[in-house]
Amino acid sequence: MTATVERAVAAPVPATAPGGADRRTAVEQSRRPLWQRVLFVVALVGVAVVFMLPFVWLIGASLRPREYVFSGGFLPTPFAPENYADAWQAVPMVTWLLNSVVVGTAAALAVTLSSAWVAFGFAYFRFPGRDLLFGLVLATMMLPFAVTMIPTYLIWTELRLTGTQVPLWAGNLFGSAFYIFLLRQFLLSLPREYFEAARVDGASYPQLFWKLAFPLIRPALLVAFVFEFKASWTDLMKPLIYLRDEELYTLPRGLKVVLDRFGYGGEQQWEVVLAGSVIATVPMLVLFFLAQRHFVEGIATSGRKG
Amino acid sequence: MATTTVPAPAGRRRRTPLARREARWAYLFLAPWIVGFLVFNAGPMIASAWLSLTEYDAINAPRYTGLDNYRELMADPMVARSLGNTVYYTVLHVPLVMAISLGLALLLKRVGRLQGFFRTVFYLPVMTPAVAVGILFLLLLNTQDGLLNRGLALVGIEGPSWTTDPDWVMPGIVLMGLWSLGSTVIIYLAALQNVPRDLYEAASIDGAGGWARFRHVTLPMISGALFFTLIVNTISSLQMFTEVYTMYFGNRQTQGAFNSDAASFYVIHLFQEAFQFLHMGFASAMAWLLFVIILIITLVQVKLGNRFVYYEGDQP
The verdict on residue B10 lying in a domain is no
Q: Shortest Cα distance from A147 to chain B (angstroms)? A: 5
Contact B183 A4 (CB under 8 A): no
Task: Give the homologous superfamily in CATH for domain A91-302.
Answer: MetI-like (1.10.3720.10)
Closest CA to A126 of B85, B292, B7, B239: B7
The pLDDT of B135-150, averaged and rounded, is: 90
**Cβ contacts (< 8 Å) between A26 and chain B: which residues?**
112
B122 and B261 belong to one structural domain? yes
Average pLDDT, chain B: 89
Give the best residue of A51, A115, A137 to mutate against chain B (max B CB count within 10 A): A51
Supply the CATH number for residue B208's domain: 1.10.3720.10
Nearest CA in chain B to A188: B6
Question: CB of B45 within 8 Å of any CB in chain A?
Answer: yes
Range name among A65-79, B108-122, B279-293 with the lowest pLDDT average: A65-79
The verdict on residue B290 lying in a domain is yes
B35 and B176 belong to one structural domain? no
B102 and B125 belong to one structural domain? yes
How far, in Å, CA of B58 to CA of A230, rounded? Answer: 31
Contact B291 A144 (CB under 8 A): yes
Element (H, E) at A85: helix A82-90
Q: Shortest Cα distance from B136 to chain A (angstroms)? A: 7
Q: Determine the pLDDT at residue B8.
A: 46
Q: Percentage of chain B surpassing pLDDT 70?
A: 91
Question: CB of A8 within 8 Å of any CB in chain B?
Answer: yes
B51 and B176 belong to one structural domain? no
Contact A263 B132 (CB under 8 A): no
Spatial contact of A236 and B132, defined as CB atoms under 8 Å apart? no
Q: Determine the pLDDT at residue B250.
A: 83
DSSP code of residue B55: E
**Cβ contacts (< 8 Å) between A125 and chain B: which residues?**
22-23, 25-26, 29
B204 and B91 belong to one structural domain? yes
Contact A303 B225 (CB under 8 A): yes
Question: CB of B198 within 8 Å of any CB in chain A?
Answer: no
Q: Quick check: pTM over 0.90?
A: no
Q: Is residue B2 pLDDT above 70, yes or no? A: no
Work out the pLDDT band at B259, boundaries 50, 70, 90: low
The verdict on residue B8 lying in a domain is no
Q: Shortest Cα distance from A221 to chain B (angstroms)? A: 17
B171 and B263 belong to one structural domain? yes
Element (H, E) at A269: none
Nearest CA in chain B to A255: B131
For B178-236, the pLDDT digits (tens) are: 999 999 999 999 999 988 988 988 998 888 888 899 999 999 999 989 998 999 999 99
SS3 B313: coil
Q: Shortest Cα distance from A300 to chain B (angstroms)? A: 5
- Bridge-based pairing of strands B54-55 and B63-64 is antiparallel
Q: Determine the pLDDT at residue B15.
A: 67
| Contacts A–B by Cβ distance under 8 A | 343
Spatial contact of B194 and B218, defined as CB atoms under 8 Å apart? no
Parent domain of B212: 76-308
Contact A125 B29 (CB under 8 A): yes
Nearest CA in chain A to B270: A146
Which distant-in-sequence residues (6+ apart) come within 8 Å of A1 by Cβ? B1, B299, B302
How far, in Å, CA of B285 to CA of A107, rounded? Answer: 30
Q: Determine the pLDDT at residue A14.
A: 40
How far, in Å, CA of B227 to CA of B97, rounded? Answer: 13
How far, in Å, CA of A31 to CA of A34, rounded? Answer: 9
For A262-276, the pLDDT digits (tens) are: 887 667 889 999 999
**Cβ contacts (< 8 Å) between A237 and chain B: which residues?**
241-242, 271
What ipTM was estimated for this complex? 0.88
**Cβ contacts (< 8 Å) between A133 and chain B: which residues?**
30, 34
Q: Shortest Cα distance from A206 to chain B (angstroms)? A: 9
Q: Determine the pLDDT at residue A179.
A: 93
B138 and B274 belong to one structural domain? yes
Domains of chain B: total:
2
Contact B147 A114 (CB under 8 A): no
B179 and B37 belong to one structural domain? no
Nearest CA in chain B to A133: B34
**Sequence ranges of chain A with CATH classification 1.10.3720.10:** 91-302
For B75-113, the pLDDT digits (tens) are: 999 999 999 999 999 999 999 999 999 999 999 998 878
Work out the pLDDT band at B143, boundaries 50, 70, 90: confident
The verdict on residue B2 lying in a domain is no
**Positions of chain A with pLDDT under 50:** 1-29, 306
B26 and B102 belong to one structural domain? no
Q: Which residues pair with A174 in a beta bridge?
A: none
The verdict on residue B13 lying in a domain is no
Nearest neighbour of A259 by CB, restricted to B183, B224, B246: B246
B61 and B113 belong to one structural domain? no
B98 and B168 belong to one structural domain? yes
How far, in Å, CA of B265 to CA of B93, rounded? Answer: 14
Q: Determine the pLDDT at residue A222.
A: 92
The verdict on residue B222 lying in a domain is yes
Contact A174 B33 (CB under 8 A): yes
The verdict on residue B293 lying in a domain is yes
For A55-94, the pLDDT digits (tens) are: 999 999 999 998 888 887 888 888 888 999 988 888 999 9
The count of residues in chain B is 316
Alpha helices for A67-144 (secondary structure H): 82-90, 93-124, 130-140
B50 and B80 belong to one structural domain? no
Spatial contact of B170 and B88, defined as CB atoms under 8 Å apart? yes
Decide which of B8, B40, B69 is a domain's last residue: B69
